[in-house]
Amino acid sequence: MTSDAPTREAETRSAERPIEATLPPYTVVLHNDDVNSMDHVVRALLVSVPELTVERAVEVMLTAHEHGRADVITCPLERAELYRDRLESHRLTATIRRGA
């Protein structure tokens, strides 16, 4: 009879690691532009990043407008790439940076 204790121990250690260790955080950054209206940017944020509230989308838009860029959301890389691509599909400029 073989023991599966080492497997269970490894699973327990893996389950106890924080999510950030398994999926490090990446931040989607929205950059200001002089082409799109503020309404368009807010609508694009809401459609592209479902987690955002209207209030947060307005805050992100205003921060990008006033400071040149704004952090949109921090999430695992694959989701960050999806959100960046969605924003870019709305003719917005967005990038990703590692870390919160």
Q: Report the pLDDT value the prediction gives residue 47, as an integer from 0 to 100.
A: 98
Distance CA(40)–CA(69), nearest Å, equals 16
Would you call 53 helix, strand, or coil by DSSP?
A: coil
Adjacent-strand bridge partners of 98 = 26
pLDDT band per the 50, 70, 90 thresholds, residue 23: confident
Beta strand spans in 19-62 (E): 25-31
pLDDT, tens digit, 9 for 90 and up, residues 41-94: 999 999 999 999 999 999 999 999 999 999 999 999 999 999 999 999 999 999
Is residue 3 pLDDT above 60, yes or no? no
* CA pseudo-torsion sign 92, 41, 100, 24: negative
- pTM reported for the whole predicted model: 0.79
CA dihedral (75, 76, 77, 81) positive or negative? negative
Tens-digit pLDDT profile for residues 31-41: 999 999 999 99
